[in-house]
Structure 1
Amino acid sequence: MKVLLSIKPEYVNKILAGEKIFEFRRKLFKRDDVDTIVIYSSAPVQRVVAEASIDAILTDTPERLWHDTHECGGISYDKYKNYFHDTDAAYAIKFKQVTPLEAPALLNEYAPQISRPPQSFAYIA
């Protein structure tokens, strides 16, 4: 099962460059059969740019998760703390392999069943 994630272009660039192997999330999908992340680069790019296989999903407090992942998180401590400022649980999706698409695709070309980029995530069958 694949899940589409909207990610800001600055972080997508770090993922594609191999500098960011963890994607941080406040909420996680419920299904346990998700094995692939489809990366949608949000505005101004607005394209599906890559797929990434999932190596692991870490769950912890924001403080402990930062301690374990910050070297490969691709985000500053201030932005990380701001993102998780009011939650007790944090998730980090660790990418195993990232495969860029040969040509970035519009969302309706890649997944016609999804009408707009998700706020959190969207399942792709």
Structure 2
Amino acid sequence: MSWSELRQRMLIVMPELDETLCIIPIWPAFADQIYCGSKCFEFRKRMPRKGVTAFLIYETAPISAVTGRFVSGRVFEDNPKSLWAATAKGAGISEQDFFRYYGSCQLGVAISISETLKFDSPIPLADFGCNPPQSYVYI
């Protein structure tokens, strides 16, 4: 399947799809929390590109495929202590793991998660013509 065919297929489930689409790698356990609604924020060490609101979820090994998407209403950037205070309730991660992840970082990013959709079947990353992402992949 070509990228244009895949994009047309995705427009059915992602009408908000615009010029910039972001693939974001997420561990399967966290992806499950996102799909069931218990994880309301995805944490990163750097901001996604300005204007990106639609994220495809690439579940890391052993899934190794794009399994769904979410829309972000807002992206927050602040020091980790303030981020934790604002997001702890929907973090989906323990406080200890949160601060271990950020380590000595001065700033952190919290991407709010809304409008989640798990696809009926995973989409192989090869269909997007890219390698497994380390942070963000824009397509």
TM-score (norm 1): 0.92
Q: Distance in 2 between matches of 1:72 and 1:15?
A: 10
2:96 aligned residue: 78
Aligned residue for 1:19?
Answer: 38
Aligned partners of 1:57, 1:43: CA distance in 2, in Å?
Answer: 26
Instruction: List gaps (5 residues or longer) in structure 2.
Output: 1-19
Number of the residue aligned with 1:122: 137
Q: Distance in 2 between matches of 1:105 and 1:79?
A: 30
Deviation at 1:33, TM superposition (A): 2.2
Q: 8 Å contact 2:47–2:77 — kept in the other structure?
A: no
Matched pairs, number: 120
The code of the aligned residue for 1:86 comes to: S
Partner residue in 2 for 1:97: 115
Q: List per-residue Cα deviations over 1:14-71 (Å, max 9, x = no partner).
A: 0011000100000122x32212011000011111011111110011110010010011
Deviation at 1:85, TM superposition (A): 0.8
Residue 111 of structure 2 aligns to which amino acid in structure 1? I
Query: Normalized per residue, which structure has more helix?
Result: 2
- Which residue of structure 2 aligns with residue 62 of structure 1? 80
Residue 24 of structure 2 corresponds to residue 9 of structure 1: no
Secondary structure, aligned partner of 1:51:
strand
Where do 4+ consecutive residues of structure 1 move more than 6 Å? Answer: none
Report the 3-state secondary structure (helix = DSSP H, G, I; strand = E; otherwise coil) of the residue aligned with 1:100. Answer: strand
Structure (1 or 2) with the larger CA radius of gyration: 2
The whole-number CA distance in structure 1 between the counterparts of 2:109 and 2:53 is 15
Which stretches in structure 1 are left out of the alignment for 5+ residues? Answer: none
Q: Match for 1:28: what amino acid?
A: M
For the aligned residue pairs, the C-alpha RMSD in angstroms reads 0.9
Shift of 1:108: 0.8
Q: Over residues 71-90 of structure 1, what are the superposed CA-to-partner deviations in whole Å (9 max), with x where a residue is unaligned? A: 10100111101100110101
Task: State the secondary structure of the residue aligned to 1:20.
Answer: coil
Greater per-residue strand proportion: 1
Say whether residues 1:48 and 2:66 are aligned partners: yes
Tell whether the 8 Å contact from 2:39 to 2:91 is kept in structure 1 after alignment: yes
